[in-house]
Amino acid sequence: MSFQNKLLSAIRNSGSVLCTGLDPIPEAMPPELRRQYDTDRELVLAWCRRIIEQTKTGTAAYKVNLAYFEAIGPEGLTLLDEVLDAIPSGKVLIADAKRGDVPHSNERYKVAFFDRLGFDAITLSPFMGTETLVPFLGDASRAVYALTLTSNPGAAELMTRPFGKAPSLSAHLATLLRTCAAQHPGALGMVIGATQSEVYGPVLDAYPEAPLLIPGVGAQSGSITELERHLAGHPGIPLINVSRGLSAFDPESGESWDVQIADNTARFKKAFQTISDRYLT
C-alpha cells in the first residue's frame, strides 16, 4: 500500500486528521503513575501504553519523538520497539527524528527507522540540500516530512526571511521539495507549524500537493481557525499533531489522568472536524 493510501485510510478509519505525539518525560507524569514503577523505562512504557489506549479510536497517526527515548539510555531502543508494538495496526507511524546528514549516512538512518523499526514516515532536516532526502524516497510506502516552516520562535531567524526571489526561505524550500518529490516514488511532505499562519500562504502555494505534518496546536496555541482557512484550498493531506495538549492533566479535576487524556482527544478531534471532513468521503 502506498503511503498516501495508508494515510487516507487511517484518517477515514479514525474520523480525524489528529496525530498523537508521544513525548514521554518521566518527571512530568502523574504522581500516582510514578509511584507504581521503580525505573524510568517501566514508567515510560506504562505511560505510552495508557496514552495509546485512550487515543487509539480518535487518532490517525502517532508521532514518536526519538529524543525522549534516547534519553532513557541503552534501553531506549528496545523500549521504543515495545511502544510501537502497542500501537494498533493501520495507524501511520512517524519517527520524529529530525535527522539531516550526507546521503551515505542518511542511508543508514533509513535502514534504522524504516527497515529495522518499521516507521512509515520520518521527519528530516533538508538544510544540507534535497539530495540528502533521496535515500528515504525510494519506497512508495514510506514518507519524509521535511522541516519547512517550523513552529518555534527561532524559525524567524532563517525560515521566514526573504531568500532570493522567494518571499521566504521556507517558500524557496517548498519549491525545491516539490521538484524533488516529482523525481522519486516515496512521499515527500512538509512540516508546517500552526503558529506561522501569517506566512503560510506562499509556502503552501509553492507545493500545494504536499502532505503536511502540522505541529503547534495545543500547548503552543496555534490557531485552528487559521488552519481551516489555509487548508481549504490545499489538496495535500494534513496531519495535525498534538503532544502536550493531549497528555496534559489537571490534578484538581477529580477525573483520573487517563480519562482526561480521552477527554482531550475527543476535544481536539471535534476542533479539527471541519478539516477532517474533507478527507472522510
Looking only at Cα atoms, what is the longest distance across the chain?
58
Angle, nearest 10°, between helix axes 40-55 and 76-86?
20
List the Cα angle 30/31/35 in 5-degree steps: 125
Angstrom CA distances, 68 to 26, 72, 125, 246, 257, stand at 9, 7, 18, 17, 21
Total H helices, total E strands in the chain:
12, 8
The catalytic residues are 98
- State how far the Cα of 144 lies from the Cα of 127, in Å rounded to an integer: 14
The C-alpha cell that represents 163 in the structure block? 531568500
- State how far the Cα of 190 lies from the Cα of 124, in Å rounded to an integer: 10
Burial class (CB in 10 A: 0-12, 13-18, 19+), 214: buried
The C-alpha cell that represents 49 in the structure block? 501504553
Helix locations, 87-131, DSSP H: 103-110
Residue in the structure block whose three cell numbers are 520497539: 81
The C-alpha cell that represents 173 in the structure block? 524550500
Would you say how long the chain is, in residues? 281
